[in-house]
Structures are given as C-alpha cells and as structure tokens.
Amino acid sequence: MSRKLLLPAIFAALAVLAFTKAQQDTVQGDFSFGGGPLPSAITERIRAKSVLPPEAEGNFPGKWINGDDCDNEPPIQVHAYNEDFYILRQSKCEIFEAPFMFLIFGEDTALLMDTGALNTTPVRQIVDGVISDWLAAKGRRSIDLIVAHTHGHFDHVQGDGQFPASPYVVQIVDAAIGEALPFWGLEDYPLDVSTIDLGGRVLDVIGTPGHHPVSVTLYDRRTQILMTGDIVYPGHLFVFSQPQWQDFRKSLRRLTLFAAANPVTWVLGCHIETSEDPFGSFAYGTTVHPNEHRLQFKPTILSTIYDAANSFLASPQCTIFEEFVIHPVYLCGIGWNG
Ligand SMILES: [Zn+2]
Ligand SMILES: [Zn+2]
C-alpha cells in the first residue's frame, strides 16, 4: 500500500475502532452507577431503536384470562406470539399471582422460563403439549427442553418438580445463585451481559437484581422482546429492602441503556397488577382483574420507570404511577395500594 493510501486507511481503521468502542461504552461503560438522571437523548435513542424491524414479529391475545370466568378459564392460557415464541399465563382462579411464563424455541433447544406459582397446576403436561405440537408442525421428532427462571420467588418455580417427567427435558436449572449464574454464564454478576444460544437463536442475558438478588432479564434478538421478570411489569414493582432499592435503580439504568443500544419491540414482565385506567392498581392478592393493563410495554417504559425511581434517589416512597407502582415493601407493607 502506498503512503498516500496508507494514512487514510489508518484513519479509517481508527475511526471504526473509536465507533466500536463508543458503542461498547454505551452498553457496558455506563453500567457502573452514578445515580444521576439519564440524558434526555437516551429516550430518543430508545424510540429510534424500537422501530428497527425484528426478524420475527408476533401478536398478543385480545384478552388474557383474568379471573373473571372461573367456570371456563383453563389453568394456563397458552398464546403463540408466533410459531416459535409462546407466552403462558397461569389462571387467577388457580392462584392470584397469575404469573406469565415464556417458552422459546431454537433449532436445538426449547427454553422454558419459569414454571408457575402452584405445583398442582399441570404446567409440565401443558408445556409438553405445546412442544409436541411444535414438533409435529416442524416435522421433527424431538428437541431438548431446558427449564430455567427469571428469578427464584415461589410463584416462578412451583412447577419445577414436575419436569423430570417430561420426555424432552435435559436440564432443570435451579434458581439458586450457585446454579443459575453459572448456567447463564454471568461471571461478574450483575455487571456483565452474557448470551445463550438455543440453536440459530441467541438470547442476551442481563443481570437485573433489585426485586430479587438473583434475577435475569432475557433479550431475544429474533423478536427483539425483552423479558424482564418481576423487575419491570405493569404492576407493583416490589422491592424488599433498602440495599435492594439501590440495586433496583442500577438495574433499571442498565436496562434503559441496553434498550438505547439495542432495538426492543416489547418489554414483557411476569405479572399484571395495574388496569388500563391510568393510575388504576390492583392490590396484592386480588383474584379478579377487570380491565387489566396489557402485558406488553413499549421500551420507553424503561426510562420512564428509571426516572420515577431515580427521582426518589435513595429514599423511595410507595407511589402509584400511571402504569406501574413503585412499591418498597419494607416501607409500606406488601398489601399497600395507595
Ligand atoms: Zn418475584
Ligand atoms: Zn412474581
């Protein structure tokens, strides 16, 4: 290469390096927590990123089972967001927690996130049924099932004991720290972001403590869905101690920055406890949810919740916001509802 060409080439290479570094800094660097407000440009970047089309789209049901028709509600509502991504909701007639679970198919592995709030609900049979229908539709004989968790609270792990009986299961990852974090490959939890490959389908794994000490958020690159467990959902965002409040704020900041750097179509948590009416909130333990909020949030909810949490700095107050509730349980008790 002549000297005339060499210099521009070097500058071009340096520019690419600087750009790449800046991108990485956006995702990784700001994960250390200063506690200050996010620049307003972050919200604009989340909006811009959210319009990048995903490889696979999907749809949500018109209504989730919500406890208003217990004679006819199935124990679990199974909804195909698309042919390879299933959302399951446990019935409020079975147990008021009514958590959502996710079943995601790659080429080699199907990943089930969470097993529900009641060991008597036949979650294993229902999941096996979805898998066997999926195999039939694809003309395949088998796929490996891995059962893992957003976090280890009781309402997300009760069905675990059923899964050794599944003909598909190859691994049930205990939700405890010693097994969950090595499985996810999170060595420097919660600061690093790891990936898990289901076979032609990569999910990013983000450590998000705050609601629970060992909690992960998954990002499915194919649908661009962010699964936030119990740290972000349309409901009571329960935080159980002051140290966890600080973790909660840090995790929200990291999620917000992740969404500014990666396209996110929807943010899906594991419960619904607010209504479609602004500032409408169902108390913990409510068994019927008329006019329930949609499960899905647009990604800008992340900066909205971060800003709300950050406005309290280290001294939160139990507060009902338009679509979610900041709920430090250690200050007002779990049954507080305004
Ligand atoms: Zn929880
Ligand atoms: Zn929960």
Q: Where are the domains of the chain?
A: 34-50+64-332
| Cα 138 to middle of ligand 1, angstroms | 35
| Cα 175 to middle of ligand 1, angstroms | 12
The pLDDT assigned to 6 comes to 54
| Cα 38 to middle of ligand 1, angstroms | 26
| Cα 211 to middle of ligand 1, angstroms | 6
| Cα 335 to middle of ligand 2, angstroms | 15
| Cα 116 to middle of ligand 2, angstroms | 9
Low-confidence stretches of the chain (pLDDT < 70) are 1-36
| Cα 155 to middle of ligand 1, angstroms | 7
Nearest bound ligand to CA 158?
2
Angle formed at CA 219 by CA 213 and CA 224, multiple of 5 degrees: 150
Rounded to a whole number, what is the distance in angstroms from the first to the last CA of the chain? 71
| Cα 270 to middle of ligand 1, angstroms | 8
| Cα 100 to middle of ligand 1, angstroms | 12
| Cα 17 to middle of ligand 2, angstroms | 42
pTM of the model: 0.90
DSSP-based three-state secondary structure for 264: coil
| Cα 249 to middle of ligand 2, angstroms | 19
Tell me the pLDDT tens digit for each residue of 96-119. Answer: 999 999 999 999 999 999 999 999
| Cα 294 to middle of ligand 1, angstroms | 19
Q: Give dist(CA 107, CA 232) in Å, integer.
A: 29
| Cα 92 to middle of ligand 2, angstroms | 13
The pLDDT assigned to 34 comes to 55
Q: Which helix (H) or strand (E) segment is 186 a member of?
A: none
Tokens 């790449």 belong to residue: 20
| Cα 111 to middle of ligand 2, angstroms | 19
For 12, half-sphere exposure in the C-beta direction (CA atoms, 13 angstrom radius) is 5
- In CATH, the number for domain 34-50+64-332 is 3.60.15.10
Give CB contacts under 8 A, 24+ apart, made by 54-60. 54/222, 54/223, 54/224, 54/263, 54/265, 55/221, 55/222, 55/223, 56/82, 56/84, 56/85, 56/222, 56/223, 57/82, 57/223, 57/265, 58/82, 58/85, 58/223, 60/87, 60/294, 60/295, 60/296
The pLDDT assigned to 10 comes to 53
- Helix ranges restricted to H, 37-165: 40-50, 123-138
Tokens 């779990």 belong to residue: 334
The pLDDT assigned to 1 comes to 45
Nearest bound ligand to CA 214?
1
The pLDDT assigned to 9 comes to 52
Contacting residues for 94 by C-beta, under 8 A, at least 6 apart: 75, 117, 118, 121
Residues having C-beta closer than 5 Å to ion ligand 2: 155, 230
Q: Residue 277 corresponds to which tokens in the numbers above?
A: 């009416």
Q: Which helix (H) or strand (E) segment is 21 a member of?
A: helix 3-27
The pLDDT assigned to 35 comes to 60
| Cα 212 to middle of ligand 1, angstroms | 6
